């Protein structure tokens, strides 16, 4: 695998997905950590200040994980997007021509209150890329 997209939200499931991706990535490959935060209307947020804080938290989470992983033969990059979580994962995987999408099967997200299992299910159903669900 040369390029793997990992849906990452800080949950135990997403940590497991990242660990699996690190085991199967080519030495010269790239892992992309993608955190997706819902738009204010999807999260029922009333103000932009809360949305900005959520976005900042997502960026910090990705930065800390990348820093903690340290140096490897492969590249690790992170990105934060807003929108429907499953749709964004599929869209970014297509745009970046990823070989694989890796997701946790379920978990309690640090970035929002939405059922991770249903997101993984949507990605499996609608993605045109291979998807690996990690328990």
Domain at 98, CATH number: 3.40.50.620
pLDDT at 60 (0 to 100): 97
- How far apart are the C-alpha atoms of 35 and 79, rounded to whole Å? 6
The structural domain count of the chain equals: 1
Range of the domain at 91: 3-134
- The mean predicted confidence, pLDDT, of the chain is 89
pTM of the model: 0.89
114 pLDDT higher than 70? no
Residue 39 · residue 83 · CB < 8 Å: yes
Alpha helices in 1-135, H assignment, sequence order: 12-24, 40-43, 48-69, 85-95, 116-126
Q: pLDDT tens digits for 27-71?
A: 999 999 999 988 776 656 557 777 888 899 999 999 999 999 998
Tokens standing for residue 119 = 């997101």
Q: Residue 127: is its pLDDT beyond 90?
A: yes
In this prediction, residue 32 carries a pLDDT of 98
């Amino acid at each position: 695998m040369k390029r793997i997209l990992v849906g990452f939200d800080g949950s135990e499931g997403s940590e497991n997905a990242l660990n699996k991706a690190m085991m199967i990535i080519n030495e010269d490959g790239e892992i992309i950590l993608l955190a997706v935060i819902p738009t204010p209307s999807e999260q029922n947020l009333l103000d932009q200040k809360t949305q900005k804080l959520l976005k900042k938290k997502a960026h910090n989470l990705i930065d800390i994980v990348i820093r903690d992983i340290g140096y490897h033969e492969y590249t690790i990059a992170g990105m934060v997007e807003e929108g429907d979580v499953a749709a964004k994962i599929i869209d970014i995987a297509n745009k970046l021509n990823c070989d694989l999408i890796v997701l946790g099967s379920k978990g309690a997200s640090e970035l929002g209150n939405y059922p991770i299992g249903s997101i993984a299910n949507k990605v499996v159903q609608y993605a045109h890329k291979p998807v690996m669900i990690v328990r």
